[in-house]
Amino acid sequence: MPNLHPSLDLAPLTDALARAAEAGRAIELWWRDDDAAAHTPALDRLLALSNRSGWPVAVAAVPARAEPSLAARLADEGDVDLLVHGLAHANHAPPDARKAEFGPHRALAALRTDAAEALALARARLGPRLLPVLVPPWNRLAPGLPESLPALGFRGLSAAAPVAPVSGLIQAHAAVDPIAWRAGGGLAEPDGIVARAARAVAAGGPVGLLTHHLVQDEATWSFCARLLDALGDHATTGRPVRISRAAALFAPAASPMSQPSPIFRGDPGTPPPREDSTASG
């Protein structure tokens, strides 16, 4: 694994984890990757990193763009779950607004129709590994849509930050995004990413790493590998830190209400702590 950031300081994050432990809070760590549509070399690299690091990955796939090769490639990957990444990842926001497919720019009835179509199409194209969890493109969602999701068949919601609780809808979000989108891509300032992760730990609830395998450069891949390894090592020390897979976080028995801070005990879908590995990422 290239050592592109030898001076990376994870102390703010490990300190936040230590403070959570001192407060008696268990921390669930998980990994979500967005925008999958087909079997690509970048997807292979994502899966290789998951296998090497011992971290299960939740792949958020775009139903209307999903090709048969995606489900075929993931069929034998036991630590991969699939999520519903919108319908077509189409921007319906006006030119002067931030991009959104399920934002407040359209009627709620149209958003419900698209969400229902997204879940039906995902079930048809992505196979039994699919979880009924909506991942809105660009992490933006109209305020009135979450309360409609359970009736449409969704069990969970994953964006960047919690929304108001909804009965029957479990929330687990991914706020730790290493890409510098506003700068046109590439790796964001590592210290800033670590600080964001520390704030997510302090806020409570599952702490999610968000990656985008199709657009990551070498520096971003390297940073993610180092972060996964460091957090994985932390999870093996006996502290109340656990690496979880999406199937456990969004399990029906986990909670009857959506909540920002779920703690799950004895979930059968949670893998054992990762083993130490020095293999290349």
- Per residue in 20-30, pLDDT (tens digit) is 989 999 899 99
Could you tell me if residue 142 is inside a domain? yes
Greatest CA separation found in the chain?
51
| Amino acid 106: pLDDT | 96
Q: Is the pLDDT of residue 56 over 80?
A: yes
- Identify the burial level of 41 via C-beta atoms within 10 angstroms of its C-beta, where 0-12 means exposed, 13-18 middle and 19 or more buried: exposed
The Cα-based distances of 127 to 12, 102, 107, 269 in angstroms read 40, 24, 30, 18
In this prediction, residues 194-199 reach a mean pLDDT of 96
Give the CATH number, domain containing residue 151: 3.20.20.370
| Amino acid 171: pLDDT | 97
| Amino acid 60: pLDDT | 98
Q: Is the pLDDT of residue 259 over 50?
A: no
pLDDT band for position 7 (cuts 50, 70, 90): low
Per the structure block, which two tokens stand in for 185? 């891509």
Residue pLDDT, tens place only, 139-191: 999 999 999 999 999 999 999 999 999 999 999 999 999 999 999 999 999 99
Could you tell me if residue 111 is inside a domain? yes
| Amino acid 239: pLDDT | 67
Can you give the pTM of this predicted structure?
0.87
Long-range contacts of 187-194 (CB under 8 A, 24+ apart): 187/217, 187/219, 187/220, 187/223, 190/5, 190/8, 190/223, 191/9, 193/223, 193/227, 194/8, 194/9, 194/10, 194/12, 194/13
Percent share of the chain, pLDDT over 90? 79
Could you tell me if residue 197 is inside a domain? yes
Could you tell me if residue 274 is inside a domain? no
In this prediction, residues 188-198 reach a mean pLDDT of 96
Could you tell me if residue 281 is inside a domain? no
Q: How many domains does the chain have?
A: 1
In this prediction, residues 40-46 reach a mean pLDDT of 98
Could you tell me if residue 273 is inside a domain? no
**Which string of DSSP letters, residue by residue, matches 20-48?**
HHHTT--EEEEEEEEEE-S--HHHHHHHH
Q: Is the pLDDT of residue 235 over 90?
A: no
Range of the domain at 167: 11-254
Could you tell me if residue 278 is inside a domain? no
| Amino acid 280: pLDDT | 25
Q: Is the pLDDT of residue 214 over 60?
A: yes
Q: Which residue has the tokens 């656990």?
A: 242
Could you tell me if residue 269 is inside a domain? no
pLDDT, averaged across the chain:
88
In this prediction, residues 70-88 reach a mean pLDDT of 96
| Amino acid 279: pLDDT | 27
CA 249 to chain centre: 11
Q: Is the pLDDT of residue 255 over 60?
A: no
pLDDT band for position 253 (cuts 50, 70, 90): low
In this prediction, residues 109-130 reach a mean pLDDT of 97
